[in-house]
Structure formats: C-alpha cells, structure tokens
Amino acid sequence: MAQVLQAVCPATGRLISEVPCTPLERVPQVMQVARRGQGEWSALPVATRLGYIRRMRLAMVERADEIASGVSEDAGKVPVEAVASDLLPVLEACRFLEEHAEKLLRPTRVPTPLLLVGRKSWVEWRPRGVVLIISPWNFPLQLSLVPALYALAAGNAVVVKPSELTPMTGVWIERMAQAAGLPEGVLQVVQGAGDLGAALVRARPDFVFFTGSTRTGRRIQMEAAEQLIPTVLELGGKDPMLVFADAPLERAVEGAVWGGLFNSGQVCVSVERVYVQRSIYDAFVDRLVQVVGTLRQGYDADADLGAMTSPAQVDIVRDHVLDALARGARLRYGPHPDAWPSGPGRFIPPLVLTDVDHSMRIMREETFGPVLPIMPFDTEEDAVALANDCVYGLAASVWTRDKARAERVARRLECGSVVIGDAIVSILNHHLPYGGEKDSGLGRYHGPGGLRLFCRETAVMEQRLPATREVHWFPYQGKYGPLLDLVRAAYGPRRRWGAFAGAYFRLLRASRAPQPTPKEPGPRLPT
C-alpha cells in the first residue's frame, strides 16, 4: 500500500485529506522528467515564460479565497495571515518578475580594460538546470512558491518538496501550475518527509534552495558539498527588537506584539527578544501586557492568533518557558505551561516573560512560538552588544525617534536585514535582498540578485578587431622590455597614457614580426 501523509488541521484536529507520498524509488524518475522539461522550458523566450507566471498569478487571484482557506487549514493559521503572509508575497513576487525579469536576464554588457583593446565583454545569465526547493511548514505557500517562481523565470525546472506537515499546500501549488498550463516536468511537487528531501539532494539537482531549521540546513550543506552542488540556505533566527527611550511608546508596544505574535510566533523573522531602555521599561511592559490581553485566539476570519502547526514545536516552546521560569523569569501574562489548553486544536496562549537574561534558552535559542521575553538595557552600546550576543543573525528592528541613532545602530547589527520603526516588513520588498548571517543561513534571494542566483553566470568575451596575431601570443621575442614599460605606465602612481601607447605599439610591432622558420622540424631546445 502506498504511504500517505495525513493532512490534519492543527487548529481543529480535523483530517483534511490523505496525500500520497512520493516513493523514494521514484526520485530518479522525477529528476529525469525535470531534466527533459527544463530543456524545452529554457529554450522559450523569457517573455513567454513570464506569460505562464502571469497566468499563474491570475489563477491565484481568481481562487484567492479557496487558496487562503486551504493554507489556513493546512497550517492552522488565521485566514488574514494566510492571505497577508502566504498569498500576497507570492503575488508580489509574480509582479516583480513580470516587471523586471526580462531586463535582468538579458546579457549584461560590461567594460573591457584598455589592455584588452578591441574586445567586447558581456555576462550571460543561463539557467542552472534543475532546482530543488525544500520548504518548511510556517509559510508553506510563500516559502515554496516564491523561490520556485524565481527559478522558473530564469529558465530552470523546479522540484518542490513541501513540509510533510503541510502537504495540502503542495496540492494547491500543483493545481496552480496546471491552471497556468505549465508544460510537463517544469514544476513538480513531491510529497514526503526528510528522507525524501535527503534522497532528492543525493539525486544531484543543479541547485538546492532550502528553507528550514539550521540543523537540517547543515546536513543538506554537507551532502551538497560532497557533490559540489551550490545552495542557498534560509535558516533559523532569534531576532532582537531594540526600543530606545525616545521611541513612540504606543507604536513600539503594538509593533512588538504584532512582530512577536504574528503567525503565533512561528516566523523566522519574528521578534524573539525585546530589549527596552530602562527608563521606559516598566511603562512598556505594563502597556504591552494590556495590548496582548486584547488579542483573540482562534481560527475564524476575525481571530488574531492561530494554532501551532507542528507538535514538536509546542514541546520546544514549553521547554524554553520552563527553563526560563526555573532560572528566575517571571510570567507577566499567560498561563504556566501546565495549564495550556489540550486538544483537539493545538494552541499556545500568548505569553509575556520578564526578568529574563542571556543564561536562558528563551533568549539564546529559536523559540518559534507566541512568547515575548522582554529585557531592559541602559546604553546604546549595551543594546548593540545584547542584540549581537547570539548565534543567529537573520533580522532585527530598531525603534527610536532619533534617525541618526537608528541608522548608526542598524549598521552595527550582525544580521541580514534591519527594519527601522517597524518589524519584519522588509521581506515583502522584492527589490531588497533577503537572507541571514551566522547560523541563520548562507546566501540571499529576492531582488535582482535573487533572480540571477538561479542562473549560471557565464562570462563571454569577443575579439572584434581583425588582428591576425595577439600581442600576448607567441613568439615572445622582443616583448619583455615593452611589457615592463607598459606595466610601469599603466600601474605606477599615475597612468601615463603616452608611455602606455608607446609600449603597446612596440609590443604590437614585436608580435607582427614574421614567425621564425625552424631549420628542422620539432621544438627548438635550449642550446
């Protein structure tokens, strides 16, 4: 009997469907189909490929409600977030590609140095081939489809392996590919767990785009290194929020509540640590507790906080909270883990922790749950040191009315993106690169670089003058002196164009000298 993945709604416990797993033995066939499809796909003009992406965008808009409901049920997230953080970023990616991909994929003319006079140089952006995309469960649609769309626009075939916890989103991706009429083999969705992901990496795709935990990212990188497969790894985070005394208090409080509790905290770039300058610390915490108390947890269209998608994540959050409480943290809002509600929905009520410090797991490891730990700081220097005291470096936010300070602090934070006066939103701008530092990952995507990431960057140089023999070719006779003169003229304290031209002319003359005719056949050996 074929193995299946049970798609169960984390918010209700309802069995949505049983999705057949892709057997491991099918992996070679999946790769073959992708390679066949890629050949024809890459031969299409970019504009034609973008036409398919446009059709996919329109199909998604037409069925927006169904897709949002599907993703919401698959991940247990509230419907507003399924639209705002899964569907909308995908549509924005389509728009970005439709508007910019053609220009970005055109060969790029680059300067040619004077030394190589008579030549023309350019860069070609050729597809890599088959791109494997392995994605997590927290934004199942966005984190599968955005890289897939970029890779497709660049002329690659794509194999998407969604998380085994959100297989229905994979089904929706297949439906959308069909609705757009994508040719066979261009976008395949395979369903299964980590063993399938590992088998796909071993099957030698031309590029691996991975989003998930740092632990799995390391494993994939090791396997890919063995085979010299290029990768991008988008991994975990522990993002700090720095609130200075002059920040607008109400806005910073609401920003912290949304940034930390959005998607129940299951966001790689969510606010995982809040640092507040001591003089406003008490007022900030008091107000934050009030605001958190106004939130509604549930699963209907008006709910603010949804369910926990992964059972394993609930255990991690519980362990972090218990560790913090055992080390002296104070639960300022929300129930003790012993009093968390039990099924059928998998919910953790929002929690606010104070009296936390960096000895606690909640301030050092990725919690990925609806918990806001808040800690005071005294000086700007302390704030930067606390923010950077972390193995992760995904994103951060800085809150102050002092623009100069905001920019100064932002420059010192060790992370891939910083938002000033808000949190998270930079990920929505496809003109900005997205990715992490330290244990948060390798590489960037989104934006021009994010499209060319899915290309083999190929250098081309063309000789355009009808020279019969180049100055750097054999024979070398008579070239040493002029070459040294050329080096001095071109690379000394200042360029001397006259001397450069003179040396070049003498090199040219030496290279035009008739080739000596050997007296006997064979190489001329040292005498």
Q: Which residues are catalytic?
A: 234, 268
Least distance CB 312 / ligand NAD (angstroms): 7
Distance CA 168, CA 511 (A): 69
Least distance CB 439 / ligand NAD (angstroms): 10
Distance CA 38, CA 238 (A): 38
Nearer to ligand NAD, 137 or 500 (CB): 137
Residue 176: both structure tokens together: 């959308």
For 422-450, give one letter per residue: b (16+ CB within 10 A) or e.
ebbebbeebeebbbbbbbbbbbbbbbeeb
- Provide the 10 A C-beta neighbour count for residue 312: 9
Using CB under 6 A, which of the segments 36-44, 156-164, 242-250, 337-345 binds ligand NAD? 156-164
How far apart are the two ends of the chain, measured CA to CA in Å? 80
Nearest to 55 by CA among 187, 177, 184, 186: 177
Is 429 one of the binding residues for ligand NAD (CB under 6 A)? no
DSSP 305: B
Considering only 134, 173, 324, 471, the residue that binds ligand NAD (CB under 6 A) is 134
Binding mask 432-471 for ligand NAD (x = CB under 6 A): ----x----x------------------------------
Nearer to ligand NAD, 164 or 485 (CB): 164
Least distance CB 201 / ligand NAD (angstroms): 6
Is 309 one of the binding residues for ligand NAD (CB under 6 A)? no
Least distance CB 252 / ligand NAD (angstroms): 24
Residues 343-382 that bind ligand NAD (CB under 6 A): 366, 368
Please report where in the chains the tokens 């030394």 appear, as a residue: 115
Considering only 38, 144, 156, 163, the residue that binds ligand NAD (CB under 6 A) is 163
Nearer to ligand NAD, 189 or 510 (CB): 189
Considering only 68, 90, 105, 143, the residue that binds ligand NAD (CB under 6 A) is 143
DSSP 386-425: HHHSSSEESEEEEE-S-HHHHHHHHHH--SSEEEESSSSG
Residues 203-262 that bind ligand NAD (CB under 6 A): 211-213, 216, 219-220, 234-237
- Phi-psi region at 25: left, alpha or beta (left = phi > 0; alpha = psi -120 to 50): alpha
Nearer to ligand NAD, 54 or 318 (CB): 318
CA angle 246, 250, 251 (to 5 degrees): 80
Say if CB 333 and CB 350 are below 8 A apart: yes
Least distance CB 169 / ligand NAD (angstroms): 11
DSSP 410-464: HHH--SSEEEESSSSGGGG-TTS-B--EETTEE--BSHHHHHHTTEEEEEEEEE-
Using CB under 6 A, which of the segments 64-72, 108-116, 130-138, 325-333 binds ligand NAD? 130-138
Is 268 one of the binding residues for ligand NAD (CB under 6 A)? yes
Give the number of residues in contact with ligand NAD, rule: CB under 6 A: 31
Give the footprint of ligand NAD on this chain (CB under 6 A): 134-138, 143, 161, 163-164, 193-194, 197-198, 201, 211-213, 216, 219-220, 234-237, 268, 310, 366, 368, 394, 436, 441
